[in-house]
A and B are shown apart, each in its own frame.
Chain A
Amino acid sequence: MRAAPKHEPALARCRRIAIVPAYNEEQTISRVIEEIRAFDAGFEIVVVDDGSGDRTAIIAERTGVHVLRLPFNVGIGAAVQAGYQFARDHGFELTVQVDGDGQHDPREIAALVGPILEGRADMVVGTRFAAGGGYHGTRLRRLGIHLFAALVSVMVRQRVTDTTSGFRAVNRKGIRLFASEYPYDYPEVEASVVLSRHKLRMVEVPVQMRIRETGRSSITALRSVYYMVKVLLALFIGLFRKYSTELEEP
Chain B
Amino acid sequence: MTSFRVSIAAAIAAVILLVVILELIRRRRLQERYALLWLLTGIVILVLSAWRGALSRLADLVGIAYPPSALFVLASFFVLIVLLHYSTVISKLSEQNTILAQRLALLEHRVRTRDREDARDPRR
Whether A71 contacts B106 in the complex (CB less than 8 A), given A78-B98, A184-B98, comes out as: no
Rounded to whole Å, the gap between the CB of A136 and the closest CB of chain B is: 35
Bound-complex Cα distance A4 to B119 (A): 41
- Contact: B106 with A68, CB < 8 Å? yes
Interface residue B101 (Cβ < 8 Å from any Cβ of A): yes
In the complex the two chains form, is B108's CB within 8 Å of A69's CB?
A: yes
Query: How big is chain A's contact interface, by range?
Result: 10 to 19
Q: A66 to B101, Cβ gap below 8 A?
A: no
Q: Which residues of chain A have C-beta atoms less than 8 A from B98's C-beta?
A: 74, 78, 184
- Bound-complex Cα distance A69 to B98 (A): 13
Cβ distance B105 to chain A, nearest Cβ, rounded Å: 4
Docked CA distance A85–B104 (Å): 12
- Tell me the A64-112 residues at the B interface (CB within 8 Å): 66-72, 74, 78, 81-82, 85-86, 89
Q: B102, A69: Cβ atoms under 8 Å?
A: no
Taking a contact as CB atoms closer than 8 A, the residue among A68, A71, A74 that contacts B109 in the complex is: A68
Contact residues of B between 103 and 117, Cβ < 8 Å to A: 104-106, 108-109
What is the minimal beta-carbon distance from B113 to any residue of chain A, in angstroms? 8
Q: Is the CB of B105 within 8 A of A69?
A: yes
Q: Is the CB of B108 within 8 A of A82?
A: no
**B105: A residues at CB distance < 8 A:** 48, 68-71, 82
Q: Which of A72, A81, A82, A184 has the most CB of B within 10 A?
A: A82
Please pick, from A66, A67, A70, the residue contacting B102 in the complex, using a CB distance under 8 A.
A70
Name the distance in Å between A238's Cβ and chain B's nearest Cβ.
16
Roughly how many angstroms separate A86 CA and B102 CA in the complex, as a whole number? Answer: 10
Give the CA-CA distance A66 to B105 in the complex, in Å: 11
Residues of B within 8 A of A85 (CB): 102, 106
Q: Which residues of B contact A71 (CB under 8 A)?
A: 101, 104-105
Q: Pick the residue among A67, A70, A86, A89 that contacts B101 (CB under 8 A).
A: A70
> Which residues of B does A touch, CB under 8 Å?
98, 101-102, 104-106, 108-109
- A residues whose Cβ falls under 8 Å from a Cβ of B: 48, 66-72, 74, 78, 81-82, 85-86, 89, 184
